[in-house]
């Protein structure tokens, strides 16, 4: 009898949500046969069997969140070696320590199998339930209490997948970043109706980074060091029904307008189909949020560490402004730049904003 545990998923990921099992208890499987599909922060990953043998027990149901090192499958017979597979790649040759096969799984609420079954049936997230049993153990009554409010409305809906990742990322950013926001506006009256706004904005971010490299950087808070980048890798925020995705346009400064549009279209399609590779979701050096396609003018945005800046574009509107001493109706694009004031000075942010604004007005 051998136990296969959730392997290291790479990129520092420590948990995944079970989407669906590809095998059943009693099945005979062979090495590399798909066992289970799990959802990480941004993508669905298929985990293969590390060995051949008969499946005697499956641990977890679809919807369960499991940590790295948690048992997934029990085998009887076949190859007895436990796989040390890493699903995905780790950047820069880094490794993620595996959880000991005999260590307790941290963060898993204390609850009996019957309690977990009831929680699944009522869609109650045990992580949000305060246990009234011995040593904080969750009992059946705790689940029943959490499954409804006084008027019987369901509560405790678990956020999953991209929204869960977003919640954690924003929480971490809020605890670490010291944000400051600078606003400006660009006169884009000269743009035609066919102008590609997203491409213009990416080009403006590149222009800002070239004028002030301090914003095209990563700040490492633990060591109080800054890594400045030679190429500008722009993360483009994309809103979807599943949550927020930020795919990366790599070396944006080295791409033509046509190449930028082609890259954005490719990333947008992969996000929509939920088949975008993790390599296209990591490594951004600065981020762009074009929230004006929906609504809003200015915003205090969230900087995601280790990045130090994010540029936001609001909704273009017609405004009466002075032009050579006379009132004129112009098309104005509002801009918001939020930066990490630990690593970026106000002067550096202002120089970035001026260059980005000039770039937009010249296009």
In this structure, the answer to whether residues 255 and 341 fall within a common structural domain is: yes
Residue 275: strand, helix, or coil: coil
What contacts 24+ positions apart, CB below 8 Å, involve 261-266? 261/196, 261/198, 261/199, 264/198, 264/199, 264/202, 264/236
Give yes or no for residue 304 having a pLDDT over 60.
yes
Residue 67: strand, helix, or coil: strand
Please state, rounded to an integer, the average pLDDT across all residues of the chain.
84
| Whether the Cβ atoms of residue 363 and residue 203 lie closer than 8 Å to each other | yes
Q: End-to-end CA distance of the chain, in Å?
A: 67
> How many other CB atoms sit within 10 Å of the CB of residue 359?
20
In this structure, the answer to whether residues 178 and 296 fall within a common structural domain is: yes
310-337 average pLDDT score: 94
In this structure, the answer to whether residues 195 and 85 fall within a common structural domain is: no
Please compute Rg for the chain using Cα positions.
Answer: 25
In a domain, 346, yes or no: yes
342-353 average pLDDT score: 97
Query: Which range of residues forms the domain containing residue 305?
Result: 163-362
pLDDT tens column, 98-117: 333 333 344 567 777 667 77
In a domain, 267, yes or no: yes
> Angle of helix 197-211 relative to helix 346-362, nearest 10 degrees?
140
User: What's the domain count of the chain?
Assistant: 2
DSSP bridge partners of 55: 75
In this structure, the answer to whether residues 210 and 61 fall within a common structural domain is: no
pLDDT tens column, 154-193: 445 667 777 877 888 888 899 999 999 999 999 999 998 7
| Whether the Cβ atoms of residue 319 and residue 329 lie closer than 8 Å to each other | yes
In a domain, 215, yes or no: yes
In this structure, the answer to whether residues 70 and 219 fall within a common structural domain is: no
Band of pLDDT at residue 11, cut at 50, 70 and 90? low
CATH number of residue 66's parent domain = 2.40.50.100
- What does the alpha-carbon distance between residue 359 and residue 291 come to, in Å, rounded to a whole number? 19
pLDDT tens column, 184-221: 999 999 998 788 999 999 999 999 999 999 999 999 99
Give yes or no for residue 86 having a pLDDT over 70.
no
- How much is the pTM? 0.67
CATH number of residue 226's parent domain = 3.30.559.10
């Amino acid at each position: 009898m051998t136990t296969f545990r959730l392997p290291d998923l790479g990129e520092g990921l420590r948990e995944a949500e079970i989407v669906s099992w590809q095998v059943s208890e009693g099945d005979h499987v062979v090495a590399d046969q798909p066992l289970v599909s799990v959802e990480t922060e941004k993508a669905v990953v298929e985990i293969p069997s590390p060995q051949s043998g008969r499946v005697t027990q499956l641990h977890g149901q679809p919807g369960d969140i499991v940590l790295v090192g948690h048992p997934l499958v029990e085998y009887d017979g076949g190859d007895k070696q436990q796989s040390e597979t890493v699903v995905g790649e780790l950047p820069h040759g880094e490794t993620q320590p595996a959880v000991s096969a005999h260590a307790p799984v941290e963060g898993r609420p204390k609850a009996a199998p019957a309690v977990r079954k009831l929680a699944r049936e009522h869609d109650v997230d045990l992580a949000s339930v305060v246990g009234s049993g011995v040593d904080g153990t969750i009992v059946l009554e705790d689940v029943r209490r959490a499954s409804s409010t006084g008027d019987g409305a369901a509560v405790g809906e678990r956020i999953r997948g991209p929204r869960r990742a977003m919640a954690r990322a924003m929480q971490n950013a809020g605890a670490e970043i010291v944000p400051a926001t600078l606003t400006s506006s660009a006169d884009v009256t000269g743009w035609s109706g066919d102008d590609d706004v997203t491409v213009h904005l990416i080009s403006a971010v590149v222009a800002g980074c070239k004028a002030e490299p301090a914003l095209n950087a990563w700040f490492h808070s633990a060591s109080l060091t800054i890594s400045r980048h030679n190429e500008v890798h722009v993360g483009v925020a994309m809103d979807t029904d599943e949550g927020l995705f930020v795919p990366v346009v790599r070396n944006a400064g080295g791409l033509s307008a046509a190449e930028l549009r082609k890259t954005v279209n490719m990333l947008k399609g992969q996000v929509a189909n939920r088949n975008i590779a993790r390599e296209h979701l990591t490594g951004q050096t600065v981020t762009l949020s074009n929230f004006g396609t929906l609504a809003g003018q200015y915003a205090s945005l969230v900087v995601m560490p280790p990045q130090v800046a994010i540029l936001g574009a609001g909704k273009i509107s017609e405004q009466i402004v002075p032009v050579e001493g006379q009132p004129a109706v112009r098309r104005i694009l509002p801009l918001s730049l939020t930066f990490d004031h630990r690593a970026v000075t106000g002067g550096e942010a202002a120089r970035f904003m001026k260059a980005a604004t000039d770039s937009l007005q010249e296009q």
